[in-house]
Amino acid sequence: MKSEYKERLTKAFPKELHSDLNEVIKILPLENSKIELSDGKIHELDNLIHPTEHNPIVNNETLIIPYRLYFDEPNPELEKKLTVRQKDILNCIYLRHHNGHLREKRLRLLSEKTEKWIIPFIVQIIGEYVYELLPIIDKKVNENTLNLFNEFRFENLEYWQKTESRMISYWDVYHRNKSPKLKEYLGYKIINRIKKRTHNNVYN
């Protein structure tokens, strides 16, 4: 099963990263199938990677990113030995974790050196329901990174539209009381900021 996990994680990143990714995979605790879920109980899972996937494109390369992961974090001492890029790969992997608090932690740990392959992991979160992640993303979608988000949107128009639709749906179900108007919702503001940059790039 561990080889299957490695294969699936490998498909989630561009080929140019596979050497670094292999170093990251070495420290992942993929043997442990017992995990604490949201009910507070320990469960033994048959599969530590959810079968559902999404397929963004980065530089004409289709990635296959798992919807959710269920394995624990690695040994912190082993993690310290990784390079900055390898740590960003690790953090992106855990942005797919089932635990929202862990996703928040890993989102904060991403380095300031945002590369194009990181963008789909961030965009996916914009279309999810945990509001607490949006203020962190809001800071990451800035003048230094807007062009990367812009390029990703153009390369993934259908995927982007689905993400935007999910963002609106989750706002309607979970966040409308706090933000009665969609245009006041932070997820919408982030999406609109990226779309506005796209508009300006096209017409200027």
* Cβ–Cβ under 8 Å, residues 10 and 17: no
Give me the pLDDT at residue 92, please: 98
Contact 151, 159 (CB under 8 A): no
- Predicted pLDDT of residue 38: 66
pLDDT computed for residue 197 by the predictor: 75
Q: Which residue has the higher pLDDT, 34 or 73?
A: 73
Structural domain boundaries in the chain: 1-105, 114-204
Q: Of 42-46, 47-51, 154-158, 198-202, which has the strongest mean pLDDT? A: 154-158
pLDDT at residue 79 above 80?
yes
Q: pLDDT tens digits for 156-189?
A: 999 999 999 999 999 999 999 999 999 999 999 9
31 pLDDT band, cuts 50/70/90, is confident
Instruction: Report the chain's mean pLDDT, rounded to a whole number.
Output: 92
What is the rounded CA–CA span in Å between residue 91 and residue 113? 13
pTM of the model: 0.92
Mean pLDDT value of segment 65-90: 96
Instruction: With cut-offs at 50, 70 and 90, classify the pLDDT of residue 133.
Output: very high
Per-residue tokens: 202: 């096209």
Banded pLDDT at 35 (limits 50, 70, 90)? low
User: Three-state secondary structure along the chain?
Assistant: CHHHHHHHHHCCCCHHHHHHHHHHHCCCCCCCCEEECCCCCEEECCCCECCCEECCEECCEECCEECCECCCCCCHHHHHCCCHHHHHHHHHHHCCECCHHHHHHHHHHCCCCCCHHHHHHHHHHHCCCCHHHHHHHHHHCCCCCHHHHHHHHHHCHHHHHHHHHHHHHHHHHHHCCCCCCHHHCHHHHHHHHHHHHHHHHHHC
The pLDDT value given to residue 198: 57
b (16+ CB within 10 A) / e for 28-54: bebeeeebeeeeeeeeeeeebbeeeeb
Phi, psi of 74 (to 5 degrees): -75, 170
40 pLDDT above the threshold of 80: no
pLDDT band at 204 (very low <50, low <70, confident <90, very high): very low
What would the mean pLDDT of 20-48 be, rounded to a whole number? 81
CB 56 within 8 A of CB 65: yes
Min mean pLDDT across 46-50, 148-152, 166-170 is at 46-50
